[in-house]
Amino acid sequence: DIQMTQSPSSVSASVGDRVTITCRASQDVTGWIAWFQQKPGEAPKLLIYAASTLLSAVPSRFSGSGSGTDYTLTISSLQPEDFATYYCQQAHTFPYTFGQGTKVE
Amino acid sequence: QVQLQESGPGVVKPSETLSLICSVSGVSFTSYYWNWIRQTPGKGLEWIGYIHHSGTSDYNPSLKGRVTISVDPPRNQFSLKLSSVTAADTAVYYCASVGGFGGSFDSWGQGALVTVSS
């Protein structure tokens, strides 16, 4: 299985801060990376797919980048509704696998 | 707009079979791949498997031998069966769709908490 390692596991931030979350895959996933946001009691919500493509309803303060084994999710100016846990997921090889999550608090 | 809804028992006894159904609405059932994913505090998010309306499926090797996903296109439903459950299978189970967004899970059900307990 491809292991996905996120860092940090949690980040303390304030409204307006720039937040960066990284995800490292145990092998090259050639850009087949997605990012999800999950709030307590809710299902994960897809934000970004193919490493950098935002879903149409996702605010432009979210961005994704990376290649090979290393990927980044950036929130350029944290908003109150962005406090949540974020997960990366590789869609390169079955079984699809997720990172362990990064809590933005 | 894909809408998914899980249904099934909230408690299953150890060694028995966990059964869940996902009802799909809002889209053509034939256009997507249908998935089950579970989430536990200890192991996080774990992909269980997928099925296509054609019957093509694949499962996570960690669960192979215990999991079966089947599809009922006329009812716009797909289902999960997980046999010989233990406490380690206690989780929130989600159904989710994959419809072309880079192989990612673009829509999710609300989740169903299943507890394995006698």
What DSSP line would sit under A4-63, residue for residue? EEEE-SEE---TT--EEEEEEESS--TT-EEEEEE-TTS--EEEEETTTEEPTTS-TTEE
Evaluate whether A7 touches A70 at the Cβ level (below 8 Å): no
Residue of B nearest to A30 (CA): B102
Q: Phi and psi of B73, rounded to 5°?
A: -55, -40
CA nearest B93 in A: which residue? A43
Across the interface, whether the CB atoms of B47 and A49 are under 8 A apart is answered: no
| Per-residue confidence band for B31, with pLDDT thresholds at 50, 70 and 90 | confident
Give the per-residue pLDDT at A61: 98
pLDDT at residue B63 is higher than 90: yes
| pLDDT category of residue A48 using cuts at 50, 70 and 90 | very high
A60 residue type, one letter: S
pLDDT band at A52 (very low <50, low <70, confident <90, very high): very high
Among chain A residues, the shortest Cα distance to B6 is held by A43
Q: Is A64 on the interface with B (CB under 8 A)?
A: no
Find, among A70, A29, A43, the residue nearest to B107 by Cα. A43
Which residue among B46, B58, B104 places its CB closest to the CB of A46? B104
Q: Which residues contact A28 (CB under 8 A, 6 or more apart)?
A: A68, A69, A92
Question: For position B14, what pLDDT does the model report?
Answer: 98
Please report, as a single letter, which amino acid is at residue A100. Answer: Q
Reported residue count of chain A is: 105
For chain A positions 13-42, those within 8 Å of chain B (CB to CB) are 32, 34, 36, 42
Question: What does the pLDDT average to over A41-56?
Answer: 96
